[in-house]
Structure 1
Amino acid sequence: MKQPETYDPRDHCTRRKILFVCLGNICRSPAAEAVMKSLIRKECLEDRFTIDSAGISSYHRGELADPRMRACAARRGYTLLHRSRPVRSEDFEDFDLIIGMDDSNIDELLQMSPDIESDAKVHRMTDYCKAKVADHVPDPYYDGGFDNVLDILEDACSGLLESEKKALGIG
């Protein structure tokens, strides 16, 4: 059967599924989710990505993001609507990339990982930074620094999207 003139094989590519993870899923990871979704929306790539976030702990399960993080994000045009949830075992099967915010998150994710293939899905957020020099995304919950967190996340999400677009053969 002849393909239509407008056929583009990339239209049938699998979605890339990315999960952002921090300790409680109320500051860093929901902010990363919002930043990444915004970048994807600006490039009209919503049909190519699934973005979510989760926490190592279930302490804040069902809660919205911290009000300080929501306020800081809102000043930059991001809306954080996600409700906290813990990382689930099926996340290691469902997502292509699982991105932790710091070494503690990475260590916990690797302990939760069911196999070596899943280990390879675990990455550090700051590994995608292009301009910022940071070895982790600091947790602002106790010490503040919400703007710094967003600065790092905006840089890293930009680098991550660039990397994923290359992997998908986009632009």
Structure 2
Amino acid sequence: MKEKKRLLFVCLGNICRSPAAEGIMEHLVKEARLEDSFEIDSAGTYGGHAGDLPDSRMRAHASRRGYRLASRSRQITTDDFYDNDLILAMDDSNYDRLRSLAPDPESVAKICRMTDYCRYLQVDHVPDPYYSGSEGFEQVLDILEDACRGLLEELEEEENKK
């Protein structure tokens, strides 16, 4: 039995972007019937929202697209660096913070930018929609859909090469 690929999506508070990425990726994996191949989670570099559901606005926008966001916010831990195969940062600030928190070079090598997997949109980060209106949440979902599809394609290609 092959081992599951463990993915961790990370933003600042783990209430908007990273739980949306988690929900979108779970949806895509389920559609592809690959649930047995992945473990998907999210966390934040800041722990001030620990235990909270994702932002109600993000949940509403995601729900309209068919995604269910039900995870609870949590702060990243040292164990996350050992337990996950890929750690995906939503922006440069969180990317840099993750690199500074990583306990060893192997952990640093697992960290990448979410937008590196975008196939169609030309963006360098997933903007924080917290202080924006509806258009900000929709933009984030557009970016994350593109990036999650690209990520899944790349991981499937990697697996097929084995």
Out of 26, 42, 51, the position equivalent to 2:15 is 26
* CA–CA distance in structure 2, aligned partners of residues 162 and 13 of structure 1: 18
**Long gaps (5+) in structure 1:** 1-11
Query: What's the offset of the Cα at 1:143?
Result: 2.0
Which secondary structure does the structure 2 equivalent of 1:148 belong to? helix
**Long gaps (5+) in structure 2:** none
Out of 154, 157, 161, the position equivalent to 2:148 is 157
Query: What's the offset of the Cα at 1:168?
Result: 1.3
Out of 25, 34, 42, the position equivalent to 1:36 is 25
What pairs up with 1:60-99 in 2 under 5 angstroms? 60-99=49-88
* CA–CA distance in structure 2, aligned partners of residues 96 and 73 of structure 1: 26
Out of 44, 57, 73, the position equivalent to 1:55 is 44
2:160 is equivalent to residue 169 of structure 1: yes
* CA–CA distance in structure 2, aligned partners of residues 79 and 36 of structure 1: 11
TM-score by length of 1: 0.92
* CA–CA distance in structure 1, aligned partners of residues 4 and 60 of structure 2: 31
* CA–CA distance in structure 1, aligned partners of residues 82 and 104 of structure 2: 10
2:112 is equivalent to residue 112 of structure 1: no
What is the percentage of aligned positions where both structures have the same residue? 58
Which secondary structure does the structure 1 equivalent of 2:26 belong to? helix
* CA–CA distance in structure 1, aligned partners of residues 6 and 159 of structure 2: 12
Runs of 4+ aligned structure 1 residues displaced above 6 Å come to none
Which secondary structure does the structure 2 equivalent of 1:140 belong to? coil
Which secondary structure does the structure 1 equivalent of 2:46 belong to? coil
**How many pairs are equivalent?**
159
> Alpha-carbon deviations, 1:24-83, whole Å to 9, x = none?
000000000000000000010000000000000000000000000000001101111000
* CA–CA distance in structure 2, aligned partners of residues 123 and 61 of structure 1: 23
* CA–CA distance in structure 2, aligned partners of residues 35 and 136 of structure 1: 17
* CA–CA distance in structure 1, aligned partners of residues 49 and 103 of structure 2: 24
